Structure 1
Amino acid sequence: MSTQISTRQRLINAAIELFATQGVTETTTKAVAELAQVNEVTLFRHFGNKHGLLLAVISESAVFQELGETLRQQAQQTHSIAQAIQWYAEDRLTAIAQFPELVLSILGEARQYPAENRRIIGKYIDQISHDVAEYLATVMQREQLRSQLPVEKLASLLNYILLGYAIIELATEVNESSDREEFLNDLVQLFLGENIVATTATENVADLPANLVHTILQQAKKSGSRDYALVYVLFATGLSPIDITHLERSHQISDAHQHLLQITQGSVRQVPVNQWIMGKRYGSYTRNPLTQWLKSRKDDCSALFLNDDGMPITKQEIAARWQELTEGLLTLEGKVPTIKQAQQTWCVEMLVKGISIEDLSILTGWSLTQLQSYVCRAKEKLALEQALRLDQKS
């Protein structure tokens, strides 16, 4: 088996070298076999013919190989649509530049290939667009953006522009880093323009009133130290349930002057654990519901929060605890409070206290665009407070 794999790879390597130096059309299967030091019959056994070999060269090249998985991983590390577009564009241009002569040869001679081979190459290109569409959709959903074009068309358009630029760059030997950097910046600006990407899908920010927040915290306190600490973290840090599931004991920094949590998944950052929540103080940096919960534990588990069985708590279990603790409580709109409203409440409160949108973006890992609806809600609350103060002076 190892010999077959080695032989296959030798043939692909030989094909890459010959396709790049003398073109696909002029390269014979005999020349490839001789360069790979195998019998021509062996080439036919592995690939059928020269165009079967070409398909293997394309599908197993750096331009195609493992792209889907790479994009799925990158989507979890990318925090804005601008970053997503720029990273993908830069990565693809770099991958293509590794085989410049091969890319030019394949594209330049494509019309001479059999129709079946052209269709297969087209399928590879369609698969790339599909993977890119999923990548962009993941980032846009997290940013709460929507495209004015179907995301599949958006991905195809992006790939066509990149391929066109790559061909010009390779054919004209224009590869100045400043030129590429300018192109990437222009590309991002093009896709963020109002005529192509993305109008903001305005989020309905429904922060909770102070009395309801304190009631939920009191309900949690009665339930036990774990639930009290859990709800405290939700309202004191603005973290999502998924953020909380990744927290470990070692991720907290606590002393007389600060209490921080280190977020290691997704948007890597530090967030403060606030002492004050909606006008009421809940302990100190060193003694609060979270530090008391950790102090009471006798286990060796590294997770910051555990379920009733002593295992790391899951997102679903956090949601279940919230649902039980808020049972019977209603918002001003007559609805049951949702766990997402804890995060919304923290964001609005931070803005009302005076944090800048840029600093809040750093703490949340959200884009400035995504935070605009929170800014509007904070301004509404500040306007109401100002109106009340003026009325009290009358």
Structure 2
Amino acid sequence: MANQDTAGKIIQATIDLIQEKGYKATTTKAIAEKAGVNEVTIFRHFGSKRNILEAAVQKFSYVPLLSQTIREQIVWDLEKDLYLLAKRYMDYLVSIQDFVLIGFKEAGLFPEIDEEIANIPLELKNVLVDYFLQMEQKGKISCPNFEVAALQFIYMNFGFFISRARLGLKVSALSNEAYLRNSIKIFSRGMTP
């Protein structure tokens, strides 16, 4: 338990410092100071600054949450299921907004970080493709390309989240709830035979 608490402190200190200074300017010494640990402790737990960021990406991945939702709460009704997934996805993105925005701030500067971050939507895409395949096998949807459908679902939700996170209500005054209900209704109609 103490190891998890220490690791959590190191991850949070890293995120705070990257948000404040950027990835390159964040040193393991500064992370150790902010986390209240020795620099040696950082290397013992993670080995490198990059490994801390990889651990943070895994910690903040929403894929396990959405996979669990599919396993436990799906009712095989496209509109209801997609609304549930979109709501969980949006709520989770809002809860880790600062971390997501760090990813955009640092995008392209460190390809190895981009690779780690790209794994999250890639895994989500695969989970959604599997759900759509099962829905097709049940005769509940018709879609010429499940990968495109999964990406469209991800992009319509992530795009709204980013717009709201960066621009507030300047683009749209719709509530998250109104946006999700209406966008899922439109999306679902396009896949219903």
With structure 2 as the length reference, what TM-score do the two structures score? Answer: 0.84
Relative distance call for 1:124 and 1:20 in structure 2 (3 A) is same
Query: Once superposed, what is the RMSD of the aligned Cα atoms?
Result: 2.6
Letter of the structure 2 residue corresponding to residue 165 of structure 1: F
Do structure 1's residue 174 and structure 2's residue 169 form an aligned pair? yes
State how far apart, in whole Å, the 2-side matches of 1:135 and 1:110 are: 30
Do structure 1's residue 96 and structure 2's residue 98 form an aligned pair? no
Relative distance call for 1:184 and 1:29 in structure 2 (3 A) is same
Q: Going by fraction, where is helix more abundant, 1 or 2?
A: 2
2:131 to 128, 135, 147: 135
- Say whether the 8 Å CA contact 1:84–1:136 is kept in structure 2: no
- Say whether the 8 Å CA contact 2:62–2:120 is kept in structure 1: no
Name the counterpart of 1:31.
30
Relative distance call for 1:174 and 1:45 in structure 2 (3 A) is farther
- 1:45 deviates by 2.9
State how far apart, in whole Å, the 1-side matches of 2:93 and 2:184 are: 19
- 1:186 deviates by 3.0
- Say whether the 8 Å CA contact 1:137–1:151 is kept in structure 2: yes
Identity %: 26
Number of equivalent positions: 192
Name the counterpart of 2:179.
183
State how far apart, in whole Å, the 1-side matches of 2:182 and 2:125 are: 21
SS in 2 for 1:148: coil
State how far apart, in whole Å, the 2-side matches of 1:26 and 1:66 are: 32
- 1:252-284 per-position Cα deviation (integer Å, ceiling 9, x unaligned): xxxxxxxxxxxxxxxxxxxxxxxxxxxxxxxxx
State how far apart, in whole Å, the 2-side matches of 1:126 and 1:14 are: 27
2:113 to 97, 110, 117: 117
Unaligned runs of 5+ in 2: none
- Where do residues 159-170 of structure 1 align in structure 2 (5 Å cutoff)? 159-170=154-165
- 1:63 deviates by 2.6
- Say whether the 8 Å CA contact 2:93–2:100 is kept in structure 1: yes
- Say whether the 8 Å CA contact 1:58–1:64 is kept in structure 2: no
Letter of the structure 2 residue corresponding to residue 117 of structure 1: I
Name the counterpart of 2:45.
46
Do structure 1's residue 152 and structure 2's residue 154 form an aligned pair? no
With structure 1 as the length reference, what TM-score do the two structures score? Answer: 0.44
Relative distance call for 1:107 and 1:13 in structure 2 (3 A) is same
Higher relative contact order (CA closer than 8 Å, sequence separation 6+): 2
State how far apart, in whole Å, the 2-side matches of 1:66 and 1:186 are: 23
Compare CA radii of gyration and give the structure with the larger one.
1
